[in-house]
Amino acid sequence: MSRQTWLFGGLFVVALATWQWFGTDRNAPASEQDFQPDFVATNLTSVQYNRLGLPYRGMQAEHAEYYESLSMTLMKKPVILLYSPDGRPQWRLSGNNGTINTGDNAVLTGNVVGKGLQPDALVETLTTEYLEMDFINNRLRSNQRVRLESPQYQAEGTGLRGKLDQQTVELLNETRATYFNP
């Protein structure tokens, strides 16, 4: 073998050793790890009931992945149904994607539509691209463009705060509204 072959062979071994030493992150934090779902479901339907046996929250999704270590469910085409304390359907919220953190909040993204299901609902339809729901405090919020519609008015604005149990919402910025006379 010639010196040139030995030189290239030695450089190859040094490059391989360097790549192995510096190229592999042995102490990668948990946030960079690959998480695998604990279960995957298609055409998922779930209803949660209160102590009186009345429904208080329902969920549907075309596809859902639950990650126990993160206490989180990722969903495609989610639908969240919220019920009044007497078990009547109150809100139907849907989007292209969603995340539910076990028991306390949910985020819907992409073509989010909320429908007030009670006959006396102040908001008949809510549309936006992003919506957060805090189930513990019964709150809604968004920092995106929001459109509200009912037979009495249409309103648009940027940002939203709302109370699910009181069926009220407040547009925060750049609000425009049109009211209709009966």
Which domain CATH number covers 74? Answer: 2.60.450.10
CB of 145 within 8 A of CB of 118? no
Q: What is the pTM of this model?
A: 0.76
Task: Confirm whether 11 is domain-assigned.
Answer: no
Task: Confirm whether 71 is domain-assigned.
Answer: yes
Mean pLDDT (the chain) is 84
Instruction: For residues 43 and 33, give the distance between their C-alpha atoms in angstroms, rounded to a whole number.
Output: 28
Number of H helices, E strands in the chain: 1, 11
SS3 29: coil
Q: pLDDT per residue over 42-92, tens digit each?
A: 999 989 898 889 998 899 999 999 888 888 889 999 999 988 888 888 889
Task: Confirm whether 15 is domain-assigned.
Answer: no
- pLDDT bucket at 31, cuts 50 / 70 / 90: low
pLDDT above 90 covers a percentage of the chain that reads: 35
Task: Confirm whether 9 is domain-assigned.
Answer: no
Burial class (CB in 10 A: 0-12, 13-18, 19+), 55: middle
For 167, the domain range is: 36-179
Task: Confirm whether 142 is domain-assigned.
Answer: yes
As for how many domains the chain has, the answer is 1
